[in-house]
Amino acid sequence: MNSNSKVLALKYRPQTFNELIGQKVIAESIFNSIKLNKIPNAYIFLGIRGSGKTSLARIVAKALNCKNGVENLCTEDFCESCQSIIDGNNIDILEIDAASKTSVDDVRELIEFSRYKPTSAKYKIFICDEVHMFSKSAFAALLKTLEEPPSYLKFIFASTDVKKIPVTIISRCQRYDLSRVNSEELFEYLVKIKDLEKGRITDAAIKLIVKLSEGSVRDSLSLLDRAMLVENDGKELDLDKAQKIFGYFEKSIIIDLFSNILEGNEENTIKIYRSIYNSGVEPKIFLNEFLEVLYYLKNIDFINLDGTNFELNDKEFNQIKNISKRLDKKNILLLWQFTLNNLEKIDIIKNQNQFVEMFLIRFLHLKKILKEEKNFQNDFLKQDSSNNEILNESKTQMKQDPINQLKNIEQEEKIITKPDVKNKIENNQIKSFKELIEICDEKRELKIKHELENNLNLVSFKDQKIEISFNSNLDKTFVKDLSAKLLEWTSKRWIIAFSKEEGLPSIKQQKKDLKEKLNKKESESEFSKEIKKIFPDAELFKVTEDNKS
């Protein structure tokens, strides 16, 4: 095949250590091990697709067998041994695909072949790609030979899934993890290839290719190949045209969509999504991009715009920065999980486009729920500006509070109801939380009593101040109602403050815990055990606490 007719990924496959992209440290380490004659029995190269695993395996094979020796490895005019490896016809270098040679019989055949010394090379080398595809029995058959191979035999394994490789195999190999190629280095490499091929593509379009390739050199070359095949009337291929070729859309569109979600604008949200879908973007790709925007919203404070990051441009960075200020970081995590759950379900849906539209509508309502929950807490922070005396008392209490409480101001709204002398509590005092519940029962304030027993955790109760934590079921008007009643019953203003401390379990929970404790204690008693012997099917129905002194 004429080299000019080859795809770029094959035409520019690295042939020497120096040509390897993004793996400089690993290349130097392997070269030094060969130079010092500290060659392991087996290498294993791990990394994503297109990171250079197979290319590195072939380079190592050439370095081990080069006729010029390791000090003078071929770089341009390749020797007979190196050239035969490049051409794939060296009889001492056996390259197999574990995806198609998975059985134990295939491995036994390979081991049998290894008994014979190399014909012309110094080492006989087995290069095994996607080694994780071997069966368990195939791995087991390989163990002994891998640990103590003949001096002329070397193994080189490559894999994208290390979790499927037995630890017993990995421990017998010298392991190298090939990293993704960073954006800046890959960009410079693609510009160099573009110039060699006399392509006409803007730097912005190449940066898009770098982003889409996700650190894979092979993917980036394949995308560059596609871009250079597009006729563009003699002009450079720009970013807009490249986006249409690759079915990509700018992140700013999703950011605009997200802004409409925050504003609760369902019509514009669906309209923007449909324009994205009509441009040729698959629903699953859209959800992945949506997840990415959520990631940036959560972590934008820890991201810097530099030359190695082509994920966000300046405009997108600032847009996300502004939106993130309007969101609670905890809520972003909930939205992330909600989106992730939908992404996992999208493959089982026939019409994925309709699925995403419904996802966005549900997302709008979920955002409203989160906003209402926040408003629920904010309702307790409202204040009556006309009541300066109470406001000053609140500020003083906040300064003295070591646990940085959220102060409830709404409780101190101006109470119109005049206290009835007949309803006042004796000595104007309520001394405990239990007494408060009893008074609510006596006064038939059943709604307040229900909230006190079911939705509150008491932290402290003293000096006309109640500190509580609460659950999401607490009624929004509870604090205002309780404050009014306490003023009515005691002729004193009470402060109800929210604490970060968990507090005591609710009365409801305490009763439940007591019931379980009594049941457990009784079920383990000698009396219950004797009953069980007589009536094996008997069940303990109810145990009551004996309050007699």
Q: What is the pLDDT of residue 539?
A: 67
Q: Could you read off the pLDDT of 14-34 as tens digits, one per residue? A: 999 988 988 999 999 999 999
Q: What is the pLDDT of residue 414?
A: 40
Q: What is the pLDDT of residue 305?
A: 54
In this structure, are residues 495 and 411 in contact, taking their beta carbons and an 8 Å threshold?
Answer: yes
Decide if 223 is inside a domain.
yes
Decide if 170 is inside a domain.
yes
Answer yes or no: is pLDDT of 446 > 70: yes
| Distance from C-alpha of 220 to C-alpha of 211, rounded to nearest angstrom | 9
* Residue among 452, 418, 412 nearest 432 (CA): 452
* % of residues, the chain, pLDDT over 90: 19
Q: Could you read off the pLDDT of 160-216 as tens digits, one per residue? A: 999 999 999 999 999 999 988 888 889 999 999 999 988 889 988 898 888 888 889
Range of the domain at 461: 388-498
Residue 516 pLDDT class (50, 70, 90 cuts): confident
| Distance from C-alpha of 482 to C-alpha of 460, rounded to nearest angstrom | 16
Answer yes or no: is pLDDT of 371 > 80: no
The CATH number for 302's domain is: 1.20.272.10
- At 196, list the tokens: 């060699």
Instruction: Tell me: do 32 and 52 sit in the same domain.
Output: yes
The CATH number for 189's domain is: 1.10.8.60
Answer yes or no: is pLDDT of 132 > 70: yes
Split into its structural domains, the chain has a count of 5
Instruction: Tell me: do 26 and 118 sit in the same domain.
Output: yes
Q: Could you read off the pLDDT of 207-243 as tens digits, one per residue? A: 888 888 888 999 999 999 988 888 667 788 888 888 7
Q: What is the pLDDT of residue 392?
A: 46
In this structure, are residues 26 and 157 in contact, taking their beta carbons and an 8 Å threshold?
Answer: no
Answer yes or no: is pLDDT of 107 > 70: yes
Instruction: Tell me: do 466 and 334 sit in the same domain.
Output: no
Residue where a domain stops, chosen among 498, 513, 538: 498
Answer yes or no: is pLDDT of 61 > 90: yes
Residue 398 pLDDT class (50, 70, 90 cuts): very low
Instruction: Tell me: do 291 and 439 sit in the same domain.
Output: no
SS (H, E, C) 246-289: HCCCCHHHHHHHHHHHHCCCHHHHHHHHHHHHHCCCCHHHHHHH
Q: What average pLDDT is seen over the chain?
A: 80
pLDDT: is 499 or 437 the higher one?
437
pTM: predicted TM-score of the whole model, two decimal places: 0.58
Residue where a domain stops, chosen among 456, 472, 498: 498
Q: Could you read off the pLDDT of 520-535 as tens digits, one per residue? A: 887 777 777 766 665 5
Compute the average pLDDT of residues 282-304.
84
Decide if 427 is inside a domain.
yes
